[in-house]
Structure 1
Amino acid sequence: MSNCKCCSSEEVNENHHDEHSHNHDHEHNHDNNKLFLIISLFLFFAGIIIQYVIKPTWFVDQQMVRLAWFLVSYIFVAYPVWGETFKLAKKFDFFNEFSLMGIATLGAFLIGEYPEGVAVMLFYTIGEMFQEAAVNKARNNVKALLDVRPEIAHVFRDDKFITIKPSEVEIDEIIQVKVGEKVSLDGILLSEKGSFNTSALTGESKPSTYKRGDLVLSGMLNLENVIEIKTTKKFEDSSISKILKMVQEASSRKAPTELFIRKFAKIYTPIIFFLALALVTIPYFFVDDYVFSDWLYRGLVFLVVSCPCALVISIPLGYFGGIGAASRNGILVKGSNFLDLLARINTVVMDKTGTLTEGVFQVQKIETNYNQDDFLNYVAALESKSTHPIAKAIVNYHHSDFPVSDVEEISGKGLKGIVNSKIVLAGNSKLLDQYSISYPDKINNVVESIVVVAIDNQFAGYIIVADRIKSDAQEAIRKMMNIGVTETIILSGDKDVITQKVAKEVGVNLAYGELLPEGKVNKVEELKKDIHKKIAFVGDGVNDAPVLALADVGIAMGGLGSDAAIETADVVIQTDQPSKIATAIKIGRETKKIVIQNIILAMGIKAIVLLLGAEGIANMWEAVFADVGVALLAILNAVRIQRMNFKN
């Protein structure tokens, strides 16, 4: 028997050992409950046939025989319900759906409505089993993500590869991944190349090829050759571990609607008890032909109808389904409260580099008054200490063995450090301005991204690098506009000329370039002054962490390898596709729509049948439909989101 007041997500948060033990006990109880249900169903239908079809006098005329027959049928199906009732009563929880059903069915027996008493409990139990099946489906969809956690690692120690747990592998150790195995830890690929299925992480089924020196993440599936990787993080710090933790914790962050319904049910249930009691007792003082059994029957119908199961299970299930649907589309939402917020987004603010552009820069031009190799050695050595895409482009272009020390990152401007005993500055022209180093005027006229370099406080040259717009960036903006996003804005630290050019090409409304991180914060704060704007900020999750935190919803784009993205953002898009922004908003809106539909459906039908029951028009069978039937309809509606196609 499932307790519909408990959201299934709590079970996802248990550790593996406790979960295994819990599931074993749960399956054992579930099998027993199924057996009891079958016995009860057999006795119930046999009793109905005997009473209304065969009609032997030993059964029809003997009330005690009928009572005994239906009571045995009742005990088999009611045992789990009463068990939960007493278990909760020990915790001083007296008003819940179990006690509602228990009291209503016992009351039916007291007034001689034996078949109805059994029927209510039978249909309630069958409804609960359907509910549990729906909850398990939703939970398993999300838990399937957890199966990407690698179980073993082959690590090179004492001149051989040994198999150990991933948690026992240290940083800078070499691990081997065989064909068909999952990569167990984040690391740098040492082999010439590797082909990986990243679908468990990104939702994309197309294999991805990585070359030597590329970052490979735990959870990827090795498709072709035996490969070797040098680990860069411990297992508990790996990207997949953090993402799995985020998935596990997602359902603990409740949406306001969900929190309200849970609080509402706790207040609503005792009120219903006392209203039912009033319905039975108060008419005694005002109705001339008062018959206790008739009014008791009305009170029992009232109790059955008022069970809050449809709301308490279908609403969390709707949100849980939304989180699962997002996960299958390569989008990790950190909680149902963020699904609610996504549904209300009408303004999308984006970083440029890595969000709308590839963020894969290539060196286009080098100008220097040094020997070019020496110049590149100084710059590449310093840039090797940065994770910025431009820095990576320079390091990929030229390898340097020059020693580096005392590296300092100057926010929004560049790097300063000691390289081969010389002070080297590498960044934009603002960096050189800060240190009062003169440079040619033509540098300010360069449209492309440029790295200006000074060595020992003297201008030494510059490197021009180029980025390209992502293939689906234009489509992403179009999709956002189509679903009702009224304003799209680019905030970039890159040159304003480049920023405006990208904005025009992809169709963004407004663009601001040459912004430091605090400049982006100021712009978003200005936007937030308009209370009608609900703002999502999309960035790489590293330099944009303050803005991600400030926006109504912070979305990390392609942040699978970025700790800051996972830690700061509310939503992580695991691919580099900006078109997934619209998908995330659509999932949020569909989830909200389903939740509202379920509230209206459950409350509307219950209100009608409650009134009919109080008037003596509705009987126990209508009451069963208003409870179990509505719950099942709400659940079927909630699981729809798991079947929706959000690709278009």
Structure 2
Amino acid sequence: MSTKHKHTYSTADDGDCCGQTTRVYTDAGAKSLLKGAGGNGKHDHAGHSDDDGHDHSNVEGGMVKLFSPAILSFILLMSAIALDNWIAQDWFTGWLRTLWYIVAYIPVGFPVIKDALVSVGKGEVFSEFFLMGIATIGAFAIGEYPEGVAVMLFYAVGEVFQTLAVSRAKSNIKALLDQRPDEVTVLVDGQPRIIKAETAQIGTVIQLKPGEKLGLDGELLSEKASFNTAALTGESKPDSKAKGEAVLAGMINLNTVSLVRVTAAYTDSKLSKILELVQNATTQKAPTELFIRKFAKVYTPIVVFLAIGICLLPYFFVQDYSFSEWLYRALVFLVISCPCALVISIPLGYFGGIGAASRNGILFKGSNFLDALANIQHVVMDKTGTMTEGVFSVQDVNFKPEFDKEEILKMVNALESNSTHPVATAIHQHVGAVDNTLEMGNVEEIAGHGLRALVKGKELLVGNFKLLDRFQVKYDVDPASIVYTTIAVAYEGKFVGYITIADRIKADAKYTIEQLHKLQVKATMLSGDKSTVVRYVAEQLGIDQAYGDLLPEDKVNRLKEIKARNMTVAFVGDGVNDAPVVALSDVGIAMGGLGSDATIETADVVIQDDKPSKIPLAIQIGKQTKRVVWQNITLAFVVKGIVLILGAGGLATMWEAVFADVGVSLIAILNAIRIQKMKF
């Protein structure tokens, strides 16, 4: 089964340098390289790629072609320097020497000069290409041929490394997620047939062999199957599915031949939405990134005019003024001034952060949320489905003896069948099949309270005790004395009794709170569940504050109180029921990325495997990304500042200028790439 990936990334739109897009080599070698680095190699029938999914022959061939202009220029430059300094001869002089250096300059200098002219034609004069062009041509004009070639050579090498780094960062994200096969095997009249995945209709039955990746979302028809869900959750631990359960595109079938009925179109699959989310993540820029880009557009023309001043103004103040000497200082100043180290390494740092998060099953909708999460001081979380598994089971049924227990349970089960709440599921599992013969009408769901209906012409109330208070039904129990989640029942205006339901705390919930506290982050739980249950869970986990019996508007008010303390707040929930709180928080984190399409669309950060331990992990990735970005900013400003002063004073040569520009850029790029290699 061929699995050529459909999504492609452009490497020319990120790393806006000096107001321009970074030059990306467009020769055949670059295309070949980017094709290989983009994970666009062919996979085997099982959907597995060779090693890391890259076509290494393409990468190696592309690398040679990408570096070939620089290699040619380097050979010519070194031979010229050898003839100038180390090899005794008398013919390497005059026009021949000049021509030799010009030929050495052309492979690396011509593309830059061309891009400078294109930029000027668009009215964008102060580009990095313009800076490097006038600096190196000026060096030739005053006879500094070796330095002129060397500056452009090192600049060209730096550009190639920048291209490779950005491409790698994007392709790493793509390789982590774009796991869908182009073709799937479907059953037509019981016979297998291979078709394009994008043409498969809802209801089509897919035959999935061991080792194959599922191409579309669907429902498992086989009795049971085991899947590797790493593409979606970052976890390679097998996930067992039973008949009727949802299975998603990107999952790998591990053992037996399985049948899956398609439930969503190719473009509507969970993985498609995740891919779209990650691809769009780089368009949401962090404040630091936006500031640096604006800064570069103002900073660059200022530096150009300062360079002109360095060249010409000393004429009026220096007694033994030499134009060539001060022009050289101005050219050094220009080479140093290019802010590429900032505007390339910073976006690359955020790419690395987004990629590292994706590898761990955490999806950021933009680099701005990486920055925001790094500054989080308070995490507010829902209980059910976030810190607990959301899988309820009935613990006890406490009905008064004068009521027919079985009959009341049948009515409660029939009424709860109108709800999708986990509590309703627990009751259904306890009671069994719904009795559809019951006369039921006027079904009403009362937000934050429960359900009301007429059953056999008489009022049935099923919900919390606030529901009974609302309809003035008297009861003889103290709700606060019951630890478990309680479902109160009233029939014909009389209190029938209550059902207790318990939810299991997630295995990594306590570890989550411990890690948040290590990060100096406070934790608060807000829940619509009864206060006794919420307090019990909070005590078990070590949560700082917990509030129960909250309606949606109560959660909003509580969050406002926390924000009023000038705290940066993240809210963790399902992203749908708690939409008002998510909107109010600084960062909305959605648990249940595999459960709800709306979650992916509404949250700022999506945790795909429902593990709360990914919350502190996401904060750590945000903090590390921010740390690396600021390391790069500090490095670039300090080194450039020092060399700019030395250059203006005539104490720095073009070689120091090369280090301040290309050298710092490469160091910053390597530092940014480090995020992708980190283990969190």
**Residue 133 of structure 1: aligned partner:** 164
**Residue 617 of structure 1: aligned partner:** 651
**Residue 507 of structure 1: aligned partner:** 542
Q: Check the 8 A contact 1:342/1:584 in 2, yes or no.
A: yes
CA drift of 1:66 comes to: 0.9
Residues 22 and 41 of structure 1, relative CA distance in 2, 3 Å threshold: closer
Q: State the secondary structure of the residue aligned to 1:182.
A: coil
**Residue 638 of structure 1: aligned partner:** 672
Q: For structure 1, which segment, 403-412 or 130-139, has the greater mean C-alpha deviation from structure 2 after superposition?
A: 403-412
1:391 alignment partner AA: A
**Residue 466 of structure 2: aligned partner:** 430
Q: How does 1:88-99 map to 2 (within 5 A)?
A: 88-99=119-130
**Residue 324 of structure 2: aligned partner:** 293
For residues 433 and 318 of structure 1, what CA distance do their matches in structure 2 show? Answer: 56
1:590 alignment partner AA: Q
**Residue 54 of structure 2: aligned partner:** none
**Residue 47 of structure 1: aligned partner:** 80
Deviations 1:300-321, CA, capped at 9 Å, x for gaps: 1001001111001000111111
Q: State the secondary structure of the residue aligned to 1:253.
A: coil
**Residue 104 of structure 1: aligned partner:** 135
Deviations 1:34-89, CA, capped at 9 Å, x for gaps: 32222211111111111111132111xx3211110000110111122122222322
For residues 236 and 524 of structure 1, what CA distance do their matches in structure 2 show? Answer: 36
Deviations 1:362-384, CA, capped at 9 Å, x for gaps: 12223457665654544444444
1:579 alignment partner AA: S
Q: How does 1:199-218 map to 2 (within 5 A)?
A: 199-218=230-249
For residues 184 and 476 of structure 2, what CA distance do their matches in structure 1 show? Answer: 54
For residues 31 and 460 of structure 2, what CA distance do their matches in structure 1 show? Answer: 57
Q: State the secondary structure of the residue aligned to 1:359.
A: strand
**Residue 636 of structure 2: aligned partner:** 602
**Residue 309 of structure 1: aligned partner:** 340
**Residue 247 of structure 1: aligned partner:** 278
Is 1:77 aligned to residue 108 of structure 2?
yes
2:477 alignment partner AA: D
Q: Check the 8 A contact 1:2/1:128 in 2, yes or no.
A: no
Q: How does 1:166-185 map to 2 (within 5 A)?
A: 166-185=197-216
Q: Check the 8 A contact 2:216/2:265 in 1, yes or no.
A: yes
Q: State the secondary structure of the residue aligned to 2:123.
A: coil
Residues 74 and 338 of structure 1, relative CA distance in 2, 3 Å threshold: same
Is 1:386 aligned to residue 416 of structure 2?
no
Q: How does 1:336-347 map to 2 (within 5 A)?
A: 336-347=367-378
For residues 207 and 642 of structure 1, what CA distance do their matches in structure 2 show? Answer: 25
Q: Check the 8 A contact 1:311/1:602 in 2, yes or no.
A: yes
Is 1:542 aligned to residue 576 of structure 2?
yes
Q: 1:482 aligns with which of 518, 521, 544?
A: 518
Please give the TM-score of this superposition, normalised by the length of structure 1.
0.90
For residues 643 and 440 of structure 1, what CA distance do their matches in structure 2 show? Answer: 62
**Residue 51 of structure 2: aligned partner:** none
For residues 441 and 347 of structure 1, what CA distance do their matches in structure 2 show? Answer: 37
For residues 196 and 595 of structure 2, what CA distance do their matches in structure 1 show? Answer: 22
1:545 alignment partner AA: A
Residues 167 and 399 of structure 1, relative CA distance in 2, 3 Å threshold: farther
**Residue 330 of structure 1: aligned partner:** 361
Q: 2:487 aligns with which of 451, 463, 479?
A: 451
For residues 187 and 127 of structure 1, what CA distance do their matches in structure 2 show? Answer: 47
For residues 410 and 217 of structure 1, what CA distance do their matches in structure 2 show? Answer: 34
Q: 1:552 aligns with which of 586, 589, 604?
A: 586
Q: State the secondary structure of the residue aligned to 1:181.
A: coil
Q: For structure 1, which segment, 190-199 or 226-235, has the greater mean C-alpha deviation from structure 2 after superposition?
A: 226-235
For residues 444 and 192 of structure 2, what CA distance do their matches in structure 1 show? Answer: 39
Residues 21 and 450 of structure 1, relative CA distance in 2, 3 Å threshold: farther
Q: State the secondary structure of the residue aligned to 1:500.
A: helix
Residues 574 and 24 of structure 1, relative CA distance in 2, 3 Å threshold: closer
CA drift of 1:408 comes to: 5.0
Give the gaps of 5 or more residues in structure 1: 12-18
Q: Check the 8 A contact 1:239/1:561 in 2, yes or no.
A: no
**Residue 5 of structure 2: aligned partner:** none
CA drift of 1:626 comes to: 0.4
1:52 alignment partner AA: N
Q: State the secondary structure of the residue aligned to 2:391.
A: coil
CA drift of 1:126 comes to: 0.9
Is 1:117 aligned to residue 152 of structure 2?
no
1:617 alignment partner AA: L
2:601 alignment partner AA: E
Q: Report % sequence identity.
A: 55
Q: State the secondary structure of the residue aligned to 1:471.
A: coil
Q: 1:363 aligns with which of 390, 394, 399?
A: 394
Residues 87 and 378 of structure 1, relative CA distance in 2, 3 Å threshold: farther
CA drift of 1:200 comes to: 1.1
Please give the TM-score of this superposition, normalised by the length of structure 2.
0.86
Give the gaps of 5 or more residues in structure 2: 1-9, 23-29, 38-57
For residues 362 and 538 of structure 1, what CA distance do their matches in structure 2 show? Answer: 24
Q: State the secondary structure of the residue aligned to 1:488.
A: strand
For residues 128 and 580 of structure 1, what CA distance do their matches in structure 2 show? Answer: 36
CA drift of 1:509 comes to: 1.1
For residues 393 and 441 of structure 2, what CA distance do their matches in structure 1 show? Answer: 26
1:451 alignment partner AA: I
Deviations 1:131-154, CA, capped at 9 Å, x for gaps: 222222211221113322343344
**Count of residues in Structure 1 that have an aligned counterpart in Structure 2:** 634
For residues 309 and 346 of structure 2, what CA distance do their matches in structure 1 show? Answer: 30
1:128 alignment partner AA: E
Q: Check the 8 A contact 1:276/1:302 in 2, yes or no.
A: yes
CA drift of 1:390 comes to: 2.0
Q: For structure 1, which segment, 156-165 or 253-262, has the greater mean C-alpha deviation from structure 2 after superposition?
A: 156-165
Q: For structure 1, which segment, 20-29 or 423-432, has the greater mean C-alpha deviation from structure 2 after superposition?
A: 20-29
**Residue 16 of structure 1: aligned partner:** none
2:328 alignment partner AA: Y
CA drift of 1:446 comes to: 2.9
**Residue 566 of structure 1: aligned partner:** 600
CA drift of 1:539 comes to: 1.2
For residues 422 and 240 of structure 1, what CA distance do their matches in structure 2 show? Answer: 48
Q: State the secondary structure of the residue aligned to 2:594.
A: helix
CA drift of 1:189 comes to: 2.6
Is 1:627 aligned to residue 658 of structure 2?
no
CA RMSD of aligned residues (A): 3.0
**Residue 530 of structure 1: aligned partner:** 565
Q: Check the 8 A contact 1:176/1:228 in 2, yes or no.
A: yes
Q: State the secondary structure of the residue aligned to 1:176.
A: strand
CA drift of 1:411 comes to: 2.2
For residues 277 and 131 of structure 2, what CA distance do their matches in structure 1 show? Answer: 37
Residues 201 and 522 of structure 1, relative CA distance in 2, 3 Å threshold: same
1:569 alignment partner AA: A
Q: Check the 8 A contact 2:528/2:551 in 1, yes or no.
A: yes
Q: State the secondary structure of the residue aligned to 2:249.
A: coil
For residues 309 and 513 of structure 1, what CA distance do their matches in structure 2 show? Answer: 52
For residues 438 and 211 of structure 1, what CA distance do their matches in structure 2 show? Answer: 44
**Residue 413 of structure 1: aligned partner:** 449
Q: Check the 8 A contact 1:4/1:309 in 2, yes or no.
A: no
Residues 193 and 341 of structure 1, relative CA distance in 2, 3 Å threshold: same
For residues 13 and 663 of structure 2, what CA distance do their matches in structure 1 show? Answer: 15
**Residue 256 of structure 2: aligned partner:** 225
Residues 378 and 21 of structure 1, relative CA distance in 2, 3 Å threshold: farther
